[in-house]
Amino acid sequence: MLRGGCFCGDIRYELVGEPFNATFCHCSICRRTSGAPVVAWFSVKRAGLRWIAGTPTTFASSAVGLRRFCPRCGTHLTFEHRDLPDEVDITTGSLDDPEAVPPVDHTRTSSRLGWVRLCDELPAFAEAREEQ
């Protein structure tokens, strides 16, 4: 079981089930909502996410996306896509052990900042990853 939460500790969660789609997202919306040049994410089945302390605040960052974050410290925690109702994306950095779910690729590289040069050999997709 994976556990995590926000910086101040007000929000805590537990995850049951296997993580999938671990990625570095380069989209401009992730960049703007996090204040970071790139955000590491992974997905879990929505039924596997359980909030065990606190209640995150929600923000509709687009017509299809809902983000959850701590109302006290601002830690970005989740992303939910309207067209993928059975899954939720979790910020890898909010895990107690972020080493447990390393990214396996890069998505939305069409929005990548020109000065971001990660030294890895992971696959990169201009937009969403190709169907597998």
**When comparing pLDDT for 131 and 84, which is higher?**
84
- Indicate whether 119 pLDDT > 80: no
Could you count the other beta carbons within 10 Å of the beta carbon of residue 19?
Answer: 18
Q: What is the pTM of this model?
A: 0.89
Q: Tens of pLDDT along 11-58? A: 999 999 999 999 999 999 999 999 999 999 999 999 999 999 999 999
| 37, 39, 65 from 114: Cα distances, Å | 10, 16, 25
Distance (Å, whole) CA 64 – CA 43: 16
For residue 124, name the pLDDT band (cuts at 50, 70, 90).
confident
Amino acid at 97: D
17 φψ region: left (φ > 0), alpha (ψ -120 to 50), beta (else): left
- Indicate whether 121 pLDDT > 80: yes
Sorted by where each starts, the structural domains of the chain and their CATH numbers stand as 2-111 (2.170.150.70)
Distance (Å, whole) CA 60 – CA 45: 20
